[in-house]
Amino acid sequence: MKISTTHKRFADHLDDQIALEYPARFLGPNWKNVLNFWIYLDTLSGEEFRLIFDRYWALDEDARVSAINNAHKAAEATIDIHYTYTTRGAALTLAPAYASLELIGSHKLESLNFLPLFLNQ
């Protein structure tokens, strides 16, 4: 299995390298989607990240806050809250962090708001 930079940071933050070998224990039923997204993050250039961050900050503030709350609730309903905050920290920045949380809890969400920011680079 290919290990992304974010996945490595996730395991390091947990201080539990078993998260590298058994990610489903930590990331829930959508772990493959999360790991694929984290691998994708490693391919993005600085310019692509700037575009994503511009899209993130262009979201309506109330909609953004609501989407953040929904992503947290869905992730926390799926995995241990400690792993939710570790995921957010491992992703380092806002848009990738909240997209990761959306993926973790995607089966509990009506729509994804942050993951689409990464489409059509």
The contacts of residue 13 (CB under 8 Å, 6+ apart) are: 86, 89, 90
Distance (Å, whole) CA 4 – CA 43: 10
Tokens 């829930």 sit on residue: 28
The contacts of residue 110 (CB under 8 Å, 6+ apart) are: none
> What's residue 96's pLDDT?
96
pLDDT in tens, 67-109: 999 999 999 999 999 999 899 989 888 999 999 999 999 999 9
pTM, rounded to two decimals: 0.94
pLDDT in tens, 33-67: 999 999 999 999 999 999 999 999 999 999 999 99
CA angle 27, 29, 35 (to 5 degrees): 50
